[in-house]
Amino acid sequence: MNRICKFIYVLIAIVLTTNCFAQQTSDKDVIKAKEKTAFQTGSPWIPEIDMRSDIAIVYGANDRPNMTFEERVKSWRDHQYTAHFMTGIAWGDYKDYYLGKWDGINHLDVSQVERNGQQIGHGHQNPYVVPIESYIKYLKTAVMKRVIDAGITSIYLEEPEFWARAGYSEPFKQEWQKYYGFPWRPQHESPENTYLSNKLKYQMYFHAIKEVSSYAKEYGKSKGLDVKVFIPTHSLVNYSSWQIVSPEASLASLPSIDGYIAQVWTGTSREPNYYEGAKKERVFENAFLEYGSMVSMTAPTHRKLFFLTDPIEDLPRDWQDFKRNYEATFTAQLLYPMVADYEVMPWPERIYTRPYRVANSNEEVLIPRYYSTQMQVMVNTLNNMPLSANKVSGSQGIGVLMCNSLMFQRFPTHNGYDDPQFSNFYGQTLPLLKRGIPVNTVHIENLGYEESLKDIKVLIMSYSNMKPLSVESHQYLASWVKKGGVLIYIGRDDDPYQSVMEWWNTNGNQFKAPSDHLFKLLGIENITPDTKIGVGKGAVYVIRKNPKEFVLQNNNTQSYLDIVKDAYEKAAKAGALKFSNYLCLERGPYDIISVMDESVNAESFTVKGPVIDLYDPKLPVLAVKIVSPGTQALLYNLKRIKNRKQPQVLASAGRIYEEKVQNSNYSFVIKSPVKTTNSMRILLPSAPKTIKATGAKGNNVTFDSSWDKSSSTAYLSFGNSPEGIKIAIEW
């Protein structure tokens, strides 16, 4: 992720509110060790970025001045990290390939090209690539082989991306001829050409990843290594919004793919969208839908999923902006209790070691200590975040159907049909999410897995902005409805992509729109607007509007909400559909809360303590926490400490090692990056008599401390050290 800044690394060779937690069950407390948290970096180990996660993902296989790739890997292993490897699959520092050193042929012509002939680049002599066979062979033999020879057994092929506006280069035209069997057609000339062009882009990166990942596994096997391959990728929500094509959900079924990193951060989630006629940033809501689409993509196939957040982003902002939106995305990820593996940040070197330009000025400011301290508390919380069987608050079981073809018809506009800011998707989701409904997304590619629809009571779908890629998807949907599922179909079916050359109008099929085929399987005829039809044990509702109409106009959601309510309560018999302005979750000792604006009311959410506020770098113990609309909270609930007699660190801006409890003494070593400030709160049986802080060389470390009698916790603050500071407490 983070396109502009990826090259920066070269610079540094309560009792809680009653209706909130009503659905709680027991937690799964086993936290997977060793490979739970990670960060990616192009830098060798330096003390400023010693994040103390489990994994250091070393980026790029190229050598640096005075340091080989293998030496970079060793520098992290020497500091007790598990070393993984990441590289771009659609671009990268592959100048030996682009400039001909690898095979004697200049390959800069593999760049993705726009209609005006402009190459799309990721930096100087670093194009976004049309993945032809020579490029795939290069990645196998020059990159994968070297990495595996270095003993790396986990490989991340980052961001398979083909821009929707591309598709005009000679290599792409040649691939078109091979794939379709007829000459290339300019995508701007017709909707069908656009659809076919993007479908080819999708297939090309599916093929490239399949080839490279299969090679990595086979080569690893030849050396006695069990190589795992992961795909770090933006969500389908973001790629569709940003007009990028990628294989996305299809990769989850490949035997050679072991999992994903969900690349969601402020830069993706702050993309404006429409709601109630207003176009603006809705970072929390966007992030919640982005993470959800990644869960939908991977959960039915049981692939491992890391969630990513980033404390900053590519474009210049101010640190308060970064902080506010980091909290929004961080909260969104924690509201998915079935995921407990995290990439805690990309590129710590750009966060900790260089000043960042402030928006609308020439001023550059190094990360403030208050923010780096808070950030490290949040990151270290992820090391302890448990899986949980609990459910986020709100009425459960409403899903919105997605398909990879959402990426196929975003650019350019044809016949005057527009979908501004991806509004056909947000028209289905935001009216529900804004009312406290934790709407799920369901990937049509995964309908063959029973788990995909297992917990869905009402499924909402539209072909206004996507098309089904196989007849089987309709067979699964029809079977699900007949067994008792409730389907809401929304769409006028008037977009120019309804008649593109696809399975519903070829090989003997003559349906004008793909929905006609679905309705035939369901036995539905003579559809009138806003129809409800019983089908088997289930029901189908048809709304003859395009979903974008619900958000592009003000006060235009009520009819949609009325139908969802009827479908949920009467047809699905799923209970009362309840609206609120918040989402919240109890997860181990943590309370996770987001209160939304533009909702059913403007009330704040109150949590009765004592709780530790983890979004405050001073870690205060609060008797009451009030969460206002448009803000989020992450709290450590002291009422859920399992053993109050056991001394323990409850929250800290560093990772804890070597804990020892003996008689009236508690000691541990805490490690965190140099040039940062630690902040920690420690549960003790009684007020401490003495506290000692000692550096790795035996030197005394100065610290500030205080005692909170009401919570029986001590607060400590001092300068961090990656070598470790030993804290010894006697009470």
Residues 349 and 423 grouped into a single domain? no
User: Is residue 722 included in any domain, yes or no?
Assistant: yes
Residue 3 confidence (pLDDT)? 44
Task: Read off the CATH number of the domain in which 540 is found.
Answer: 3.40.50
316 to each of 39, 71, 326, 539, how far by Cα in Å?
Answer: 22, 33, 15, 50
Place of tokens 């090989």: 507
Residues 58 and 36 grouped into a single domain? yes
Predicted confidence band at 32 (pLDDT cuts at 50, 70, 90)? very low
Q: Which two tokens stand for residue 537?
A: 């044990």
User: Is residue 627 included in any domain, yes or no?
Assistant: no
Residues 319 and 445 grouped into a single domain? no
49 to each of 8, 45, 347, 376, 720, how far by Cα in Å?
Answer: 14, 7, 9, 11, 12
Q: Which two tokens stand for residue 443?
A: 């990937």
- Indicate the pTM of the whole model: 0.95
CA separation for the pair 635, 610 (Å, rounded)? 10
For the residues 419-427, what does the mean pLDDT come to? 98
Predicted confidence band at 197 (pLDDT cuts at 50, 70, 90)? very high
358, exposed or middle or buried, with CB in 10 Å at 0-12, 13-18, 19+?
A: middle
Answer whether residue 402 shows pLDDT above 60. Answer: yes
User: Is residue 611 included in any domain, yes or no?
Assistant: no
Residues 291 and 376 grouped into a single domain? yes
CA separation for the pair 9, 3 (Å, rounded)? 13
- Tell which phi-psi region holds residue 516, choosing left (phi > 0), alpha (psi between -120 and 50) or beta: alpha
For the residues 447-473, what does the mean pLDDT come to? 97
User: Is residue 422 included in any domain, yes or no?
Assistant: yes
The last residue of one of the domains, among 556, 571, 586, is: 571
Predicted confidence band at 359 (pLDDT cuts at 50, 70, 90)? confident
Encode pLDDT of 600-629 as tens digits. Answer: 999 999 999 999 999 999 999 999 999 999
Task: Read off the CATH number of the domain in which 720 is found.
Answer: 2.60.220.10
Task: Read off the CATH number of the domain in which 276 is found.
Answer: 3.20.20.80
The last residue of one of the domains, among 571, 593, 612, is: 571
Encode pLDDT of 676-727 as tens digits. Answer: 999 999 999 999 999 999 999 999 999 999 999 999 999 999 999 999 999 9
What's the 3-state SS for 590-620? EEEEEECCCCCCCCCEEEEEEEEECCCCCCC
Answer whether residue 241 shows pLDDT above 90. Answer: yes
Answer whether residue 87 shows pLDDT above 60. Answer: yes
In the predicted model, what is the mean pLDDT of the chain?
94
**What are the two backbone dihedrals, phi and then psi, of residue 268, each rounded to the nearest 5 degrees?**
-80, -40
Answer whether residue 27 shows pLDDT above 50. Answer: no
Instruction: Determine contact, residues 93/60, Cβ cutoff 8 Å.
Output: yes
Residues 564 and 659 grouped into a single domain? no
Q: Which two tokens stand for residue 145?
A: 């082989």
User: Is residue 393 included in any domain, yes or no?
Assistant: no
Query: How many Cβ atoms are within 10 Å of 95's Cβ, its own excluded?
Result: 15
Residue 654 confidence (pLDDT)? 98
Place of tokens 């100087």: 124
Q: Which two tokens stand for residue 478?
A: 């029809």
Residues 423 and 375 grouped into a single domain? no
Predicted confidence band at 1 (pLDDT cuts at 50, 70, 90)? low
What range does the domain containing 654 cover?
Answer: 648-730
User: Is residue 358 included in any domain, yes or no?
Assistant: yes
Residues 367 and 404 grouped into a single domain? no
Encode pLDDT of 98-115 as tens digits. Answer: 999 999 999 999 999 999
Encode pLDDT of 508-524 as tens digits. Answer: 999 999 999 999 999 99
Predicted confidence band at 315 (pLDDT cuts at 50, 70, 90)? confident
Residue 362 confidence (pLDDT)? 84
Residue 6 confidence (pLDDT)? 41
Residues 407 and 365 grouped into a single domain? no
552 vs 318, residue with greater confidence? 552
The count of domains in the chain is 3
Answer whether residue 176 shows pLDDT above 90. Answer: yes
Predicted confidence band at 295 (pLDDT cuts at 50, 70, 90)? very high
Q: What is the CA radius of gyration of the chain?
A: 26
Residue 42 confidence (pLDDT)? 97
Encode pLDDT of 64-85 as tens digits. Answer: 999 999 999 999 999 999 999 9
Residue 441 confidence (pLDDT)? 98
Residue 7 confidence (pLDDT)? 37
Answer whether residue 5 shows pLDDT above 80. Answer: no
For the residues 540-569, what does the mean pLDDT come to? 97
Helix, strand, coil proportions of the chain in percent (round to 5)?
30, 25, 40
Answer whether residue 439 shows pLDDT above 60. Answer: yes
Encode pLDDT of 473-490 as tens digits. Answer: 999 999 999 999 999 999
252: three-class secondary structure by DSSP = helix
CA separation for the pair 57, 46 (Å, rounded)? 14
Where does 150-294 show beta strands of DSSP type E? 154-158, 162-163, 228-233, 244-245, 259-263, 273-275, 278-280
215 to each of 141, 210, 255, 507, how far by Cα in Å?
Answer: 9, 8, 12, 35
Residues 487 and 546 grouped into a single domain? yes
Residues 382 and 448 grouped into a single domain? no
Instruction: Determine contact, residues 582/433, Cβ cutoff 8 Å.
Output: no
User: Is residue 225 included in any domain, yes or no?
Assistant: yes
User: Is residue 475 included in any domain, yes or no?
Assistant: yes
Residues 145 and 269 grouped into a single domain? yes
Instruction: Determine contact, residues 635/590, Cβ cutoff 8 Å.
Output: yes
Residues 369 and 406 grouped into a single domain? no
The last residue of one of the domains, among 536, 571, 606, is: 571
% pLDDT > 90, the chain? 91
